[in-house]
Amino acid sequence: MNALSNPDTPEVLCSITTAASIGDPSMDWRIAVQDTVQLGIKRFALFLTGLKPTERKNCYQLLLTHRLRHEFEIPFVHARSDMHPDEYRFLMHEFGTKRFNLHPVRKAELPEGGLPDDLRRLIYIENVGKLLESDLNGFAGICLDISHLEITRRVYPEYYPTLCAMIENHRVGANHVSAYQNEGKGDGRDDKHHYVSITEFDYLKAYPKEYFGRYVAIELTNPLSEQLAVKSLLENHLNLI
């Protein structure tokens, strides 16, 4: 299956994030969990990127407590390579998680014993740096970060066709979407995890809807209330509304 025959209907998800790029504000994920009530958000993505094991336990406990007064699901999770298989199964059982992503495991080793095949079939590998064919071996496909794709197009033009060929030949199961300011200076790595203007998503117009998988997770540290405008923009781009 390739990206251009991807049968999945995308779902755009606001996200609770736990990491920020240098210079960007950090989201208080505890407050964000509470904000889902006021905003009526019952499905969202969770980025565990910045949480170590003890912090993740605290996060899970807060989510379990929060669920007692607000029903919700977390269909997509940005996992960490240090997560034990039991964590994946916990998220699937408690919060209905269907798909995960990881960075290439050659950059961050898996826990002792690795991950069983049934979990690997739910994990998509993110295009961090120069993605290799070997990075995808044994996993479900690609988690295509569109802002990383834009960086590749601008900074690594000699590699960009290779990545596009990989996208065509592997399943794109999920996406990350961040802001891209395109300031025209520096080295072209202008992606941001915090947006100021909705025009910072104009770069998305260059990419067809076939490049978007089942879950399109907004990777921003902006409050969930500000992510809703990006959600609407993406849904229009993908002809979902």
- The string of pLDDT tens digits covering residues 5-22 is 566 899 999 999 998 766
Q: Output the pLDDT for position 1.
A: 42
Residue 165 lies in a domain: yes
**What residues are paired with 78 via a beta bridge?**
47, 101
Q: Output the pLDDT for position 25.
A: 84
Q: Output the pLDDT for position 181.
A: 84
- Residue 151: give the domain boundaries: 7-237
Distance CA 1, CA 7 (A): 9
CA dihedral 73, 78, 82, 85 (to 10 degrees): 40
Q: Total structural domains in the chain?
A: 1
Residue 80 lies in a domain: yes
Pairing mode of beta strands 191-192, 179-180: antiparallel
Distance CA 74, CA 87 (A): 14
Q: Cβ atoms within 10 A of the Cβ of 21, count?
A: 13
Residue 2 lies in a domain: no
Q: Output the pLDDT for position 241.
A: 65
Q: Output the pLDDT for position 186.
A: 55
Pairing mode of beta strands 76-78, 215-218: unpaired
Exposed e or buried b per residue across 170-203, where buried means at least 16 C-beta atoms within 10 angstroms of its C-beta: bbbbbbbbbbbeeeeeeebebbbbbbeeeebbeb
Q: Determine which helix (DSSP H) or strand (DSSP E) holds 172, and give its type and residue range.
A: strand 172-177
Q: Output the pLDDT for position 5.
A: 53
Q: Cβ atoms within 10 A of the Cβ of 19, count?
A: 17
The pTM score is: 0.94
* The one-letter amino acid at 26: S
Per-residue pLDDT reduced to its tens digit, 143-170: 999 999 999 999 999 999 999 999 999 9
Task: For the chain, list residues with pLDDT below 70.
Answer: 1-7, 21-22, 183-189, 241
* CATH number of the domain encompassing residue 39: 3.20.20
Distance CA 117, CA 122 (A): 9
Q: CA–CA distance from 25 to each of 179, 182, 222 (Å)?
A: 14, 19, 8
Residue 1 lies in a domain: no
Residue 162 lies in a domain: yes
